[in-house]
Structure 1
Amino acid sequence: MEQLQMVDFALVELTLYLDTHPADMQAVQQFNQLAQKRGQLAHAFEMQYGPLLQFGHSYTKYPWQWIDTPWPWQV
């Protein structure tokens, strides 16, 4: 979870930077690399603990996992 939070923080910061520097190719590449890493980290987390996001952004196993603990903020 800590690694996921670090990548999320970097993605937010890069998003803000790219809003004012949209032609910075290196920043765009870094954003895309971190977005891919985030997907991998989120997938690994969800396989171990269950879904992170609602509204169809994360899959769930059967039975419905949204009522299971630990919640993402408890890990």
Structure 2
Amino acid sequence: MRQSSSRSELLRAVQETGFACLDLNLYLDNHPEDKKAVNTYNSLYSQFAKARCNYESKYGPLTNFGYSPSSYPWQWVCEPWPWDREFND
């Protein structure tokens, strides 16, 4: 995965790897013995975790309720939120 620097590039990396993990998770629900798929999932998850960490260290948490630490002041209320249209402006 290449190094991304803009907010939209960092978020795109989180979205892409997160989607790939979710998709493979659904596959593994039905094929739990597929060792190659498990290995691919673990690799994708590592990429996802790194992408999320890169984003959150620069722009704050993407999720709430204990999934992300926050610096002071509380970061969850900072705007724009990732789903806001002006986020990508």
The number of equivalent residue pairs is 75
TM-superposed CA distance for 1:51, in Å, is: 0.6
Residues 18-56 of structure 1: per-residue CA shift (max 9 Å, x gap): 111111000000101111111110000001110111111
Letter in 1 for 2:26: L
CA RMSD of aligned residues (A): 1.1
Q: What 5-or-longer segments of structure 2 have no aligned partner?
A: 1-10
Structure 1 unaligned regions, length at least 5? none
What TM-score results when the alignment is normalised by the length of structure 2? Answer: 0.78
8 Å CA contact 1:49–1:70 kept in 2: the answer is no
1:53 aligns with 2:56: no
- Structure 2: distance between partners of 1:64 and 1:30: 35
Q: Decide which of 14, 38, 48 is 1:4's aligned counterpart.
A: 14
> Following the alignment from structure 1 to structure 2, what is the Cα–Cα distance between the partners of residues 52 and 62?
16
Shift of residue 11 of structure 1?
0.8
1:16-35 aligned at under 5 Å gives the runs 16-35=26-45
1:62 and 2:72 are equivalent in the alignment:
yes
Aligned AA (2:73): P
Task: Give, in whole Å, the separation in 2 of the partners of 1:19 and 1:67.
Answer: 35
Identity of aligned residues (%): 43
